[in-house]
Amino acid sequence: MAIVQSFSIWFIPLLIGFILLYGTYKKVPTYETFVEGGKEGFSIAINIIPFLVGMLVAISVFRASGALDYVMMAMRPLFSLFHIPAEVVPLGLMRTISGTGALGMTSDLIATHGPDSFIGRLASTIQGSTDTTFYVLTVYFGAVGIKKMKYALKVGLLADLIGFLASIAVISLLFYA
């Protein structure tokens, strides 16, 4: 566990250092390039606002009304059978449909349970470990006019399921074993 944690801490500074030195070696105008790329970051953050507002409002309405509790209660026996925490199940489903929707749910779970709680860490890992299957499928196949997807959707969805279960297993083993 200590190794995993120090790997996480060292990884980012090492990567940044490497990129900066490599850029300098390749005679990239590092500072100007950094500023140029940084501007994109600002517009991405601003562009996310409407997605987050829309999703967070819908989720909080669903939760504040008590509807989410009913759903959880109904599903709990099924998921506890497989040791799956019911709190992250809606996230797992949303993750395949909408990346920004899942991002809203992840933020909500982190806000409710705390970033360093089991659920908070689990939600973070689930969010990071799969991509939005429907989005990728739509964009990539749509762009080149593929109409017959064959077994692509099945593969994408099963991969999501594996990512979801792997996240639960990894977080349980690394932090709470």
Angle of the 89-97 helix axis to the 67-81 helix axis, nearest 10: 100
Least distance to other proteins, CB of residue 46, Å? 7
**Cβ-based nearer residue to other proteins, 81 or 143:** 143
- Residue 117 and residue 69: Cα distance in Å, rounded? 20
In terms of CB distance, is 78 or 139 closer to other proteins?
139
Please give the structure tokens belonging to residue 106. 């992840």
Q: Which is nearer to other proteins, 28 or 79 (CB)?
A: 28
Phi-psi region of 83 (alpha: psi -120 to 50; beta: other; left: phi over 0): left
- Amino acid identity of residue 81, one-letter, is L
Give the separation between CA 58 and CA 138, rounded to whole angstroms: 24
> Which C-beta is closer to other proteins: that of 23 or that of 87?
23
In angstroms, give the least distance from the CB of 78 to other proteins: 20
For residues 171 and 161, give the distance between their C-alpha atoms in angstroms, rounded to a whole number. 16
Closest distance to other proteins from the beta carbon of 135 (Å): 9
In whole angstroms, the minimum distance from the beta carbon of 89 to other proteins comes to 14
